[in-house]
Amino acid sequence: MPNPKRRHSKSRRGKRRAHDFLQTVTPGVCPNCLEPKAPHQACPKCGYYKGRQVMEGEEDI
C-alpha cells in the first residue's frame, strides 16, 4: 500500500478542515405565542408544536 512520503503541513490540514465547524441555528417564531424557538422543537414558552399542545410550557405552571 502506498504511504505518504512527507507529512502534511498545518496549513494544508487546516484547509481540509475549513468546513468542519458547527453552524448557528436560526431561531424560528412560534405561531402560537410569537416567541423565538428552535426549529422542529416544541416551544419552551407555551408548549405548542404544529398547532397542538404537546407539553407544559412556562405559562402553564
How many Cβ atoms sit within 10 Å of the Cβ of residue 7? 8
Q: What confidence tier does 60 reach under pLDDT thresholds 50, 70, 90? A: low
The residues with which 29 forms a beta bridge, in sequence order, are 36
Quote the strand ranges of 1-61, DSSP E.
Answer: 28-29, 36-37, 48-49, 52-53
Q: What is the mean pLDDT of residues 21-26?
A: 87
Rg (C-alpha) for the chain, rounded Å, is 22
Q: What percent of the chain has pLDDT over 90?
A: 67
Q: What are phi and psi of 52, to 5 degrees?
A: -135, 155
Question: Does 39 or 59 have the greater pLDDT score?
Answer: 39
Q: What confidence tier does 59 reach under pLDDT thresholds 50, 70, 90? A: low
pTM: 0.58
